[in-house]
Amino acid sequence: MDDREHQYDLLTAAVLGLTIGVGATLLLRRGPTGRRPISPALVGVAKGAAWAGRGAARLGRDGGRWARKRGGELWDRVPVEAVQEHVEDYIGRARDTIDDAVSSELRDLRRAMKRQRRRLGI
């Protein structure tokens, strides 16, 4: 069972790496116009940051100081153990679902191979 979990971990890491790589490639490549697809989003982020900065300056508050002062006490209120249990539960259920799907597909493929062999007379 432990070997199977390592295989799923490796498969999950490979799929996540592939997904992140493809996503980054699609966002950072240059399109037909010569601009990158992520450029409009970055412009929007810059406008939002500038707007937020003006709002903080108008109110006379420093958001960084506020977050630094209250960040520690807010982090202490996060139920880390409960979050960890939920994530482990989700991962376990996902692993079981993947295992069931793979088993079902393998069973179907074996049946299809048997049918093809019978049809070909092998």
Rounded to whole angstroms, the Cα distance separating 15 from 18 reads: 5
For residue range 65-80, what is the model confidence (pLDDT) as tens digits? 666 677 777 777 878 8
Tens-place pLDDT, residues 28-86: 888 787 777 777 877 888 887 777 766 555 544 566 666 667 777 777 787 888 888 88
Read off the pLDDT band of 9 (50, 70, 90): confident
Residue 114: inside a domain, yes or no? yes
Domain boundaries, position 106: 80-122
How many structural domains comprise the chain? 1
Q: Flag whether 100 is in a domain.
A: yes
Q: Distance between CA 82 and CA 88 in Å, rounded?
A: 10
Cα–Cα distance measured from residue 102 to residue 69, given in angstroms and rounded to the nearest whole number: 50
In a domain? residue 23: no
Give me 69's structure tokens: 């002062």
Q: Is residue 112 part of a domain?
A: yes
Q: Is residue 52 in a domain?
A: no
Question: 34 lies in a domain?
Answer: no
